Amino acid sequence: MSDLGELAPVPAGSVLLHIGPHKTGTTALQNALRAARDDLLAQGVRYAGTRSSRDAEAARHAIGRRTVRDEATAEAAAAAWREVRDRLNDASVPRRAFSSESLANADDQGAARVVGDLGPAEVVITVRALADVLPSQYSQFVQRGLATAEYPRWVEAVLARDESVPTVRAFWRRHSHDAHVRRWGAVVGMEHVTVLVVDDHDRDFLPAAFERLLALRPGTLAERIGRVRANRSLTAAETELVRRWHLECAAAGLDREQVRRWTWRACDRLRAVDPRPTAPRLALPAWAVEQANARAAEAATSIAASGARVVGDLGRLSAATARPGAITEPVRAIDTRLAADFAVGLALHSDAQVAARLATGDA
């Protein structure tokens, strides 16, 4: 396991606020925290989250980035944050914690707004090599229907900061790790910011670090994190299938939000099936790895000089290498089995919707 050094727990009476960002092991960690909820409480820690979608809405409301479409859903998001806030401010439990990568979308005012709603807060930021984040973030953007450019074009746009391409601005808002440290440190004080450098080869590092930070019994999270399904990225072919699906739906004039809901459920079907070990994954070409490493090295230098507590080797952020055999060019052919799995996911989602409407008398 990576060396955790003398990583001490956050002070009793404080809130641990994990802001992500995305694609840094957040989903598996959050699932483990939810699964261990009762065990955590017995050890003096209240985990304030409930389920991922509700937590995300709560976090977006908290930072002032409301994406809801009507008054009813806006109030539901506000109510979700009030519940999280009240749990985090419950001083009857020595330590309280909340994790949502949506908090990484905060601007300076949003960060101040969140902390202003809470008592003393300790902010935890997980960081990962930029060259490893880029392919997995593209896959997630595609699943959401947000990225429609082919993969090579999107990578070029991100590294050139070409904001005429959708999601480029969102990518850098999420993954300018040094900016997160500066932003949240300005609100809570740098001495209250902990940066955890994720090691993709050490599955135990993240749960063990949070066990230390929350003064939990060793194994409380680590023993559960292996039982929960991680938010795996799609393979290169799966990602391209979903990208083309979104393009065809848009050309047919289908409702964008409804298509997103269908697609996410269908992608759940794809993620539930383990791909062949030889299935090509998205990766960066050598030139892009070099550029991503250069940007990551700048961020690491800034983080090192910030005064935040750093756990792990910041040099890992800029040490990525090109992966032989990975896909760096557009996928031109898609296995019919993948298309069938995706279609089954769509059908299952449709059946679930119809059953729910019949049960409520809306059909």
pLDDT digits (tens, 9 = 90+) for 125-177: 999 999 999 999 999 999 999 999 999 999 999 999 999 999 999 999 999 99
Burial 12-51 (b: 16+ CB within 10 A, else e): eebbbbbbbbbbbbbbbbbbbbbbbeebbeebebbbbbee
Q: What percent of the chain has pLDDT over 90?
A: 68
Q: Where are the domains of the chain?
A: 15-231+286-322, 234-280+333-363
Backbone CA torsion sign across 16, 19, 21, 23: positive
Q: Would you place residue 23 in the very low, low, confident or very high pLDDT band (cuts 50, 70, 90)? A: very high
Q: Please state, in angstroms and rounded to a whole number, the distance separating the CA atoms of residues 129 and 191.
A: 24
253-264: average pLDDT: 88
Q: Please state, in angstroms and rounded to a whole number, the distance separating the CA atoms of residues 352 and 363.
A: 12
Q: Would you place residue 358 in the very low, low, confident or very high pLDDT band (cuts 50, 70, 90)? A: very low
Q: Please state, in angstroms and rounded to a whole number, the distance separating the CA atoms of residues 108 and 25.
A: 24
pLDDT digits (tens, 9 = 90+) for 211-221: 999 999 999 99
Pick the CATH number of 15-231+286-322 from 3.60.150.10, 3.90.25.10, 3.40.50.300, 3.40.50.10540: 3.40.50.300
Kindly list the distances between the CA atom of residue 180 and the CA atoms of 198, 299, 327, 339, in Å, as whole numbers in the listed order: 16, 10, 31, 39
Instruction: Please indicate whether residue 265 or residue 144 has the higher confidence score (pLDDT).
Output: 144
- Does position 194 have pLDDT exceeding 60, yes or no? yes
Q: Please state, in angstroms and rounded to a whole number, the distance separating the CA atoms of residues 343 and 242.
A: 11
Whole-model pTM?
0.90
Residue among 241, 230, 321 nearest 279 (CA): 241
Instruction: Please indicate whether residue 184 or residue 278 has the higher confidence score (pLDDT).
Output: 184
